[in-house]
Amino acid sequence: MENTLLRWSDALYSGCIWLSSGAIFLMSLIIPWGIFTRYVLGTGSQWPEPISILLMVVFTFIGAAAAYRAGSHIAVAMVTDRLPRALRQVTAHAVHALMAVVALFITFYGSKLCIKTWGQNIGEIPWMPVGATYLPVPVGGFITFIFIVEHLLFGSQHARAVVTYDHAVKEPEAI
């Protein structure tokens, strides 16, 4: 059961990484296009800015969930590193509990925001509801909550192969 849940979390983590990476990649194409059309062609396109903002929201909230699982989020450890080991563990559990509260807050109120603004349209992109642009907020909050629960149940997953794919693996030396 544990292996199945961890494999599912690995797939979710990979999806977060790919989605965040894709958002940054598309943003790096769209922004220069907007600059080119505005300053070279003199007929600025209206859609690059709102699409780039949407992609930044995707990158921020989905990428933050992946960063939490990888243990690469920003942490100020100056005080906690100086605490006794037992107190460090209590502090770590308190941090995860507070993160769970924040993730649930973001999920709940982000969902309410999406629902409230779903009937409004973006001026530059009339086919896209405003609520769709906020959708990465509750989705990212919910994925972060999943990774928090995983951390509390199974411990830190930052050393899993899917997370450390870019690190060199030491082969055992032959005798």
Express each pLDDT in 74-133 by its tens digit. Answer: 776 777 788 888 898 898 889 899 999 999 999 999 999 999 999 998 888 888 899 999
Domain boundaries defined on the chain: 2-154
DSSP 86-101: HHHHHHHHHHHHHHHH
Instruction: Give 129's strand partners.
Output: 121
Query: pLDDT grade, residue 136 (50/70/90)?
Result: very high
Instruction: Give 144's strand partners.
Output: none
Whole-structure pTM value:
0.84
First to last CA, the chain: 37
